[in-house]
């Protein structure tokens, strides 16, 4: 799904078959349109469309990416699990 303003693409969201029927959603919005709720709206629309198709939508992000976490929450996603990576040094 693409959002345009004056024929210019300002945001894009897509879902792909991530793993075992989970459809991972990704979003990118140009800086001028960030923080206005557009990403959350588009993510929610793609999630709803995925569900209509019998797919399970999945939104992944890094915990430190606060803007992305807020987008997920505003789109109706709730944290289901977290993962941390560590390396022995």
pLDDT band at residue 53 under the 50/70/90 scheme? very high
The pLDDT of residue 18 is above 90: no
pTM, two decimals, is 0.86
84 versus 17: the higher-pLDDT residue is 17
- Catalogue all structural domains in the chain, each as residue range(s) with its CATH number: 2-74 (3.40.630.30)
Partners of 57 in the beta sheet? 23
pLDDT digits (tens, 9 = 90+) for 28-51: 999 999 999 999 999 999 999 999
Closest by alpha carbon to 28, among 16, 17, 38, 18?
A: 38
What does the pLDDT read at residue 77?
Answer: 96
Work out the pLDDT band at 80, boundaries 50, 70, 90: confident
Beta-strand relationship, 8-19 and 2-5: antiparallel
pLDDT of residue 3: 95
């Amino acid at each position: 799904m693409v959002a345009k303003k004056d024929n210019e693409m300002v945001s894009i969201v897509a879902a792909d078959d991530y793993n075992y029927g989970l459809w991972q959603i990704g979003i990118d919005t140009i800086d001028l349109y960030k923080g206005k709720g557009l990403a959350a709206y588009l993510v929610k629309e793609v999630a709803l469309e995925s569900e209509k198709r019998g797919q399970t939508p999945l939104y992944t992000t890094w915990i430190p990416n606060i803007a992305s976490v807020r987008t997920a929450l505003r789109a109706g996603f709730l944290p289901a699990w977290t993962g941390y990576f560590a390396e022995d040094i």
